[in-house]
Each structure stands twice: as C-alpha cells, then as structure tokens.
Structure 1
C-alpha cells in the first residue's frame, strides 16, 4: 500500500505569474462564454443574478485552491488534497470525476466552436459535417500539446490576449446600446426564481471551470506558494468582469426569443451594436481562437491530474508517460474519449448537444470541488495549523464553507439527468479502482 505522499514536482518549473494567470483566464474564458448566454436564455434574466452569485463562489474557490496549493505545491491539486485528508479512495473519486469532466468539457468546447465556424465558413448542413468540424477544433490544439509544454504556454498567452479584445468591446461598450425590451421575463420558466436560478447556475458553472488551473499545474509554477493564489484570484476576477458585463450586454442587445435560439450570441450582439455582419464575423474569429486556446489548456489539464494519480498508483500506469513536459499518453486518451463523445452526441441524434455536455461536466467538476473544500474543513476542524498554513482562521473557514456550499448547490442544480449520468461515470470508475487497489496490495506470506 502506497503512502499518501503526493507526487514530486518536476525539477524545472516553467510557469511564471503571467503564464499562470493566462492559464487560469484562458481556461475560464474558453468557448463556453460565447455560447452560454443563449443556453441560459430560456431561464430568463434570472440567469444574470445566478452568474453574479456564482462569481462569489468562483472567487472563493480560487482562494481555497490557492491556500491548499501553498501547502502542497505539486501537480495534481484537486486529487492531492482529498487523498491527503481522507485516503486513497477519496483521492481516486476526485481524480476520476475531474478527469471525466475534462474530456467531456473538451467535447463541449469543440461543439461550441461549430456555431461560430458556421458564421465564417459555408458549411453544409447535417450532423455529420458538424461532427467533423467539432473534431477538427479538438485535434488542432491537441497537436500543440504533443509538441511540448513550452508551445502550450506560448499558445495560451497569445490566445488569451486575442480573445479578450472583442469580448471587452461587448462588455464595456455593449451596455450603452442595450434596450430594456430585449431582456424578456425575469423567470421565463415559471417554476420559481430559486429553482430557475439553480438550474441556470449549474449550466453557468461551465463558464467558471478553470479556477483551479494554477493549482492543478502547481508543480509547473514558479514560487507556487504565492503565485497560485494570485493567479487564481486575478484570472477569476478578470474573467468575472468580462462575464457579468458581457452577459448583461448580450441579453440587452439580442431580443430574448432570438437569443434563446442563437448559435452565435456574441456575434449577434456585435451586429446589433454596429449593424451589418462585419462585427459578427470579427466575434466569430475571436470565438474560434478562444475555443482553440481553451482546448490547448484543457487538454493539458486532462492529463496532469491523472498523471499525479498514476505516479501514486491510483490511476493506470500509462498516464505517467511524458514527453517534453506534457503527459502525452493522458492527453491522447482524453482527446480520443472526447472525440467518441462528440460522435455519439451528434450522430446519435441527441438534441441540445452543448447543453447536455455542459450539465454533465458541471456535476463531475463539482465533486472534486466539494471534496477539496471538505479537505480544508477537515484540517481546520482538527486544528492542524501546518495543514492550513496558520493564521487567518476566520477567512479560511469562510472560504472553505462558501466553496462547499456552492459545490453542493451546483450538484443539486445540475438536475436529475445530469446527476444520473455523472453518477454512472463515477460508478464505472469503481472497477478501475478495484483493479488498481488489488494490484497494489501484496498478500502476506506465512
């Protein structure tokens, strides 16, 4: 039986503060933000309130992961913390759930690219062509990962800068063009404000996936005890400003009925601001670049946590294979699984592909968030000052408590179908855990 000592970080830490902030921001502001206003429009403008509440939770999670990473600055983050607090099984559940989230999220990102590619290209109709476009959007950034970590870092910085510019235009200039009549009803479902807000928040969580990026990659970050928390908070706050102002602008620029059926809501918003279609084309280019940049970072993330668990013997050994700083085998497996999920959802005739994938990822992301918050609460309750790095007890309790509550709220808001499918993914992982744990335990000899 292996010890609970986390995997050792690599000798060379390649990410400074700028790269870490870009990793967080680039992973948060991916393709999701470009499609999410249309996805949550059916719930009404209560979605904007849900986004504001979720922003508070996202900042709390960023602080939580920064505090946890300051004590254990190794690659693997959200797998390491539950394992140290509760043992191997909790660590496995966390890494399996997070790993499931990453490749399902990558599939959702690639699907989000399709709507904006159709603005730029004369793509034939039909699910088959859409599936091919989604696969192309997925595999292009995968090649960057296979080339090595320095290319991942460079691509992340460039794509983050390029995506921010047009989003900033909508977020900062768009509110001056809004029309009150476009917002539509506050609670469009008629089910009540709280249920509608919870359901919208479960979808909107997808827009904040990535707050943990610096913590998961802490083994690659220089001076992680300071850099991880700074990168997490700075990246999350910057993303939140763009999200809140941008979503408000889109809701006020595009009529509610049109927004609910839009496949490129930010393009529609720019067209409403300036007329014609040129603005929409610019936004579509930015959206595609943003999605490719986000996939560049998320493909790396899909490999790093399994790598840390595999080093400890809690994940299949194949995930330890690395090349030029990237666990290439894990990245390849994640891309293949995301490709299968894309084909299944498109060619299987599943409606609302993006929404289905987003809800699954929201549930599977909330599980390791919940376990990490529980780990911090565990150490605080024990009075283990070394574990929580001393001082600021009230702040740590508040941050961990808010993070735990938000994670639980998101699991509840994901809905029965998403929780059911996500639980099936977790249950399937039990067979892997049984097999690996049996191989790690050597029977005693008489």
Structure 2
C-alpha cells in the first residue's frame, strides 16, 4: 500500500492495463493474465458453443447451398477478427468494441457499444442454457414439468458463474479443459465422418423454393449466431499477456479453428445422415455417429460433449459480459457497482449478468414459452444476433475513421490499402447481420437500445453534475 503523502510514479500512457495492474500489486494468486493459448481457447470456446450440435438440422431445409452461406460468414468473421486485431494494437485495454467506439466517436457511441454488447452477453447466456436442456435431458432425464427443465437451465448458467467468481486463473483453466474435451467428439465426426461419406445422403443443392441468393441469406440467418464471440480476446485485452501482439493472433487462430470444425463437421453430417432424416433429426451429430459406427451410444457421447461445450461457452461469455460494463463503469458511463473487481474478475458484473439471464430463463419457461425449447432458443438467438451487430458495426466504423482520417497507426501504403479493404468487408458483414436477424429480433433489439438511451441520459447527467461532462 502506498504511504500517506507519497506520490505514485506515473506509468507510460501506452502501458497495457494488465501490466499496470500487476505493477500495482493488484494481481492476486487467483488472477493471472492469459497467454496466447488460453486467449485462443477463449475465442474458440466462445464461438463454438452448443449451436454446432444443432446447425446441420437447422440448415438442412435449404440444402447443401447452406455451406456457401457458411463460407461467406467465415470470410466476414475473419475480416472482423483482423479489424479487432488492428484496433487492439492501437488500444489494448479491456472493453474491446466499447473502447474503440468511445475513443473514436465519444461517450454516446461508447455507451451504445457497451450497452448492446452487455445485453448480447446475458441474452446469449440464456439462449445457451435453454439450448443445453435437451442434451442434459438425454443424460439425466430431467424432461417433464417446466420447473425441472428451468432448474436444469439455471444450473448450467450458475456453474460457469461460480467459476468466474473464483478468479481469472480458474476461468482460464475451465476454458482450456472445456475446449479440449469438446473438440474430441467434434473432430471425430468432422474427420471420421469423411471416411463414411456418401454423396447420396446430401440431398439437393438447393432444397428451398427461394432463389439462390434468398436461400443463402435465409441459411445465413440461422448460422449468424455461430460466429458470435469473435471479439472475445479484444474484450478481455487487459487480461491478455502482451495484448498488442496476442489479441490479434488469438482472434485469427480462434476464428480459423472454429471455421474448420464448423465447415468440416457440417459437411460430414450431411454426408453420413440421409437428407430426409436430417431434416427431422433433433440430434444430428448423434445420428452421424450412429451411422458411422452403428448402435445408439452416439447420442449419449454427443450429449455429454454438447453439455461440456455449452459450459465452456458460458464460462467465457460470463467473463465477457462483465468486462465491457466494467470498462464503461470506470469511465462513468455505467453504474459504479459494475467497476468492482476481485481476483481479476468484475464480480458484481458477473453476478448481475447471471441473475438477469436466470430471470429471463425463468420467465420463458414459466410463461409457457419454454414448452418448446427450439422456439425459445431461436427467438433468443436472433435477438442476440441483432444486438451484437451494434458493437461490431461501431468497431469497424472506428477503424474506417482512423484510416480515412490518416490515423491508421502510421501504416505504409500497402498496409493501408489492405486494412481499408478488410474494414469495408467487416462493415458489410455487420450490416448483413442486421438483415439476417429478422424483423422481430430487430424490433425487440431496438427497444433494448431505446432503454439504453434513457440510461445514458441519467449517467450523462450524473457526470455533468459531478463536474465531468461527457466527451
């Protein structure tokens, strides 16, 4: 502790947040900055949640043309990854899109990025928990009354919450173990399925009545949720070791790893499960394993992998859901209670996020909507997708602003051209996400944003009253 009357030596302005914390003795034995492997696992673990176990069934109605949508989404996700990597080089602070938007456009844009990303996080957590119930039911037979399914979803939410409250050291450990364990069965289907591939199972290239462009867009609307999480390393930049170098690398490696599993896994399922059966399947990866090796043991194995995958995704998303409001609270744009941090984790933000996701889960089941998990899951997913487009679009707009205004981190002409092309692709991808979310999700998302405007008005008034007017 600093002695009374002594002055602390100021740190350089570009010192990473994680280094400042460590220098000031604020890193306890429970808080440890992530290296490149853990940061990569955080990105992959957040991108690959429980959705991959449903994806082949969800897009089967559009035929194998959905693989084209997958490829386009992958290009957009990589463009976003490159943008986040370049922005992290400029400003490697915790908060990701919030930090970038506020630095470029001021408090209001930063608040909108933080607010929408925070809503994205806890609505996504509720969606993942609801999606896990079907797999938990295969393992433990919890299906029955609404409250037993609701209880299962709440347990799935709170276990990662407790891991986060234990500190970043345990968050990283859980993320590493969950990522490794869930990749074993996924790679079994993705690679092993190619040896049992039968082209007759693929069905038509375009199974829907819409034109090719419409079919690709419709399939993409269901697949958009799959790539949420590309910003994970950037949001937690303050907890990443050497963030200027590792955030971009972890983001690229994580996206490429996720894309490999997504594309190869979906193709393998398409080629091992008959198209008609796949359209009615509720466990496509289980059916693929059964078709490959015979028997019915695949359902249990894949259900276990799905639960592990979702727990890993929730573990990472719970951390991210607290990091952005933490950064905003430090700047006076979120209530100060979000700025409390223990063991390297914004504990108050974690608790509030888990509680809100739990309330949303209970509401959906208690109101009767939870009787059909797939409908609840789809609604929550599309709302999540729309809300995620706001911070994505603001971050890409910030990169475009820096490049056009000549603040592109002193890049040479060839780098400037490349960064400009990537930024435009990422911006177009973000706009496509808005269209793919659908009218109902956009309507509900806009209502969330309007509530945020009121919250910003109150926080801005408090800042001005305290003598610190917003930027």
Instruction: Output the TM-score relative to the length of structure 1.
Output: 0.94
After superposition, the Cα gap between the structure-2 partners of 1:255 and 1:341, relative to the gap in structure 1 and judged at 3 Å, is farther
Using the TM superposition, give the Cα deviation of residue 320 of structure 1 relative to its aligned residue in structure 2, in angstroms: 0.6
Counterpart of 1:39 (choices 36, 39, 58) is: 58
Aligned to 1:83: 102
Distance in 1 between residues matched to 2:324 and 2:412, nearest whole Å: 23
Aligned to 2:275: 256
Is the Cα–Cα contact under 8 Å of residues 16 and 92 in structure 2 kept in the other structure? no
Listed as ranges, the matches of 1:60-139 within 5 Å are 60-139=79-158
CA RMSD of aligned residues (A): 2.0
Aligned to 1:406: 429
Listed as ranges, the matches of 1:224-303 within 5 Å are 224-303=243-322
Alignment of 1:367 onto 2:390:
yes
After superposition, the Cα gap between the structure-2 partners of 1:122 and 1:208, relative to the gap in structure 1 and judged at 3 Å, is same
Partner of 2:97: helix, strand, or coil? coil
How many residues in Structure 1 have an aligned counterpart in Structure 2? 440
Gaps of 5+ in 2: 1-12, 23-31
* Pair member with larger Rg: 2
Partner of 1:135: helix, strand, or coil? helix
After superposition, the Cα gap between the structure-2 partners of 1:366 and 1:190, relative to the gap in structure 1 and judged at 3 Å, is same
Alignment of 1:320 onto 2:328:
no
Distance in 1 between residues matched to 2:251 and 2:346, nearest whole Å: 23
Distance in 1 between residues matched to 2:361 and 2:203, nearest whole Å: 32
Using the TM superposition, give the Cα deviation of residue 443 of structure 1 relative to its aligned residue in structure 2, in angstroms: 8.5
Partner of 2:94: helix, strand, or coil? coil
After superposition, the Cα gap between the structure-2 partners of 1:443 and 1:211, relative to the gap in structure 1 and judged at 3 Å, is closer
Counterpart of 1:154 (choices 168, 173, 183) is: 173
Listed as ranges, the matches of 1:151-190 within 5 Å are 151-190=170-209
Instruction: Output the TM-score relative to the length of structure 2.
Output: 0.89
After superposition, the Cα gap between the structure-2 partners of 1:316 and 1:8, relative to the gap in structure 1 and judged at 3 Å, is farther
Partner of 2:96: helix, strand, or coil? coil
After superposition, the Cα gap between the structure-2 partners of 1:137 and 1:176, relative to the gap in structure 1 and judged at 3 Å, is same
Partner of 1:386: helix, strand, or coil? coil
Distance in 2 between residues matched to 1:325 and 1:84, nearest whole Å: 24
After superposition, the Cα gap between the structure-2 partners of 1:19 and 1:443, relative to the gap in structure 1 and judged at 3 Å, is closer
Counterpart of 1:440 (choices 432, 438, 463) is: 463
Distance in 2 between residues matched to 1:436 and 1:73, nearest whole Å: 25
Per-residue CA shift, 1:85-139, capped at 9, x if unaligned?
Answer: 1111111111111111111111111112112112212223343322221111111
Using the TM superposition, give the Cα deviation of residue 385 of structure 1 relative to its aligned residue in structure 2, in angstroms: 3.4
Gaps of 5+ in 1: none
Is the Cα–Cα contact under 8 Å of residues 75 and 305 in structure 1 kept in the other structure? yes
